[in-house]
Amino acid sequence: MSLNELLPQLKPALAGIWIAYLVVLAGWIVLQKREPIATLSWLLSLALLPVLGLVIYHFFGPTRIRRQQLRRSRSRASLNDTLPSGLKAGDDSTTIARLGLAATGYPPSTATRLDLLVGGGDTYDALNEAMAGANDHLHVEYYIFEPDQTGMQMRDALVAAATRGVRVRLLLDAIGSSRLHRRFLAPLQAAGVEIAWFHPVRLRWLWRPRMNLRNHRKVVVVDGRIGFTGGINVTDEENDRLRSDAFRDLHLRLEGEVVRWLQLAFLEDWHYATGKALRDDKFWPDVCAGDVVAQVLPAGPDSPWEAIHRVQVEAIHQANRRVWLVTPYFVPGEAARMALTSAALRGHDVRVIVPARSDSRVVSAAARSYYDHLIAAGVRVFEYGPCMLHTKALLVDDDLCLIGSANFDHRSFRLNFELSLLMHDRELAATLQAVMEEDLGNCQEVKADRPAAAFSRRLGDACARLLSPLL
């Protein structure tokens, strides 16, 4: 029988298989109870792309998030019984703090010292000084750790600490730090540094993929007394002492009770990555309460609450005078857009500062697609020009600051493991305001009456916006 004669007989069978495929997968996706738009988008892609759509869903679909959530919850449970009494969840009178506590399990705490570090040069200097003074342990966690000059300096500082008897643990994201090679890591291993990889690349990824769930956090804890967190990775690209075009970014150096919560975040991540629960009383030294209210906000696909997203939206809604937002990737969801435009419509000073040239053209294009709507509501949009703006900070009124690793986009809010610090302090807010004003001095404001962009660019921006949930 020829192929032409066989095809008419096969068509009913193929149609039946295709219909059965759609019914089964549609039921599976609908039962996940995601947003209607997301559900319809997946159904449409699976219908139009029967094979490719299924592959995309397997690697990037929401079921991976649910499975990882279960595993992360087991990590938290294994540590709960070993926490010192000072780390039991507390309470606070502010609604934002209560929201953060409910969404993360991390209550507000305090800092006796809080330094805002501007740029990689100052940050690496402070890190090297703190690590040189370590006596018991160093816990280090990064998304990007490059084998360049900055990375070698950090590596050598860790080797020096381990050589003098400090217990050093290094947790790295397997994708963000994928350029590290055996020769670079050999001195660390020889010195006794424990190295762990977050979601390492393995063959079983073909069955249980984790490509889309990255650890974007930057955490360093020195002897349980000094902590660092923020947006700066370990790379020459962010070292303004080495490059005139280094990323513009912020980091934080902390002392006081809040460091205990950074410690817990690291221990949870370490247990999740290695399966080993670390227990040592020296992780929890006695510390004094401070004057700066600070709350650690870990967030990621292991929780359904999008803690950093919710806290930022709530803070914007509660603003009485001002909302200044700096972010390298601006792809806001409906709730975030509503919060920003509502604040502007109330007459508040709302400013969004983004890079004029991002390291992701697609993200920049998607961001531009939101400008007109924001500007029409009264939001002022500024594009930073000298270099890549990598700062992730929110300033509300004169006392509330949020600084960390999370961008203002769907990937940070829903897919990546992020960590930010919420702080209530007028002095810090004034310092952050001065940094933002310096950035504004290097910005070009996007005006409503600007010349219309070329049709090809407007079409590209609109198409990039369709990819917003994946950016």
Residues with catalytic function: 216, 218, 223, 390, 392, 397
Amino acid at 450: R
Residue among 248, 294, 255 at smallest CA distance from 119: 248
Strand bridging mode 194-198 / 167-173: parallel
3-state SS class at 246: coil
Helix, strand, coil share of the chain (percent; to 5): 45, 20, 35
3-state SS class at 111: strand
Structural tokens at position 109: 């705490």
Residue among 327, 122, 142, 147 at smallest CA distance from 233: 142
d(CA 171, CA 141) in angstroms, rounded, equals 5
Cβ(131)–Cβ(108) under 8 Å?
no
d(CA 395, CA 399) in angstroms, rounded, equals 8
d(CA 175, CA 213) in angstroms, rounded, equals 10
Residue 289's CB: how many other CB atoms inside 10 A?
10
d(CA 313, CA 335) in angstroms, rounded, equals 7
d(CA 259, CA 265) in angstroms, rounded, equals 10
Q: What is the DSSP string of 282-308?
A: GGS------SEEEEEEEESTT-TT-HH
